[in-house]
Amino acid sequence: MVVLGLVAILGTLAAPSFVSLIEINRLQTKANSFLNDLQFARSEAIKQGLPVYICPTADNAVCSGANNWATGWLVYVDADSSGTLDSGEQITRIRSAWSDQDTFVANAPAAGATLPLQIGYSRDGLALLSGSSALLSLRTASANANAMRCIAIEPAGRAAVVVGGTGSCT
């Protein structure tokens, strides 16, 4: 009976840290999924010799033009180099909306730049950004600062996952 009581006490003490671990792993998985699609878009742009963009979507068919990447995103080849998804252009990947309350938004850019509502890569693999770089933030619904992740994209095309509280990921 004493052993059972000790197990119950230890279980209640460990439960909160286990929830935090689950949140950290969930956001890291989501960040890696987005990073994978950025790398895919860059590779496709180089391979096809055309711009390739990633944009948020709400219906898995068109770019939403909203700063809410948690609703899903599309990767498309911009055959006419217009910077927009036109009818007939090839959508190469679709990521559906997340089923939880985590948020994924682009951070406010530096002065003189506009909020990135899509991210593109040119045929030479360089990022097509409105400013000098882009930063997107993933946060848990419970605002667990330890679980926060950011995606940093540089003009040269390099993208990386940054842990919350590191560099500009705050």
SS3 163: strand
Q: What confidence score (pLDDT) does residue 35 get?
A: 97
Q: What confidence score (pLDDT) does residue 130 get?
A: 76
Q: What confidence score (pLDDT) does residue 141 get?
A: 81
As given in the structure block, the two tokens for residue 66 are 């909203």
Alpha carbons 138 and 136: distance in angstroms, whole number: 7
Q: What confidence score (pLDDT) does residue 159 get?
A: 96
Q: What confidence score (pLDDT) does residue 97 get?
A: 95
Alpha carbons 157 and 121: distance in angstroms, whole number: 7
Q: What confidence score (pLDDT) does residue 7 get?
A: 63
What is the pTM for the complete model shown? Answer: 0.87
Q: What confidence score (pLDDT) does residue 73 get?
A: 97
pLDDT digits (tens), the chain, 170 positions: 667 666 666 556 555 667 888 888 999 999 999 999 999 999 999 999 999 999 999 999 999 999 999 999 999 999 999 999 999 999 999 999 998 889 999 987 766 667 788 999 999 999 998 778 899 999 988 767 778 999 999 999 999 999 988 888 88
- SS3 track for 91-158: EEEEECCCCCCCEEEECCCCCCCCCCCCEEECCCCCEECCCCCEEEEEECCCCCCCCCEEEEECCCCC
Q: What confidence score (pLDDT) does residue 16 get?
A: 61
The contacts of residue 169 (CB under 8 Å, 6+ apart) are 135, 137, 148, 149, 150, 152, 162, 163
Q: What confidence score (pLDDT) does residue 15 get?
A: 55
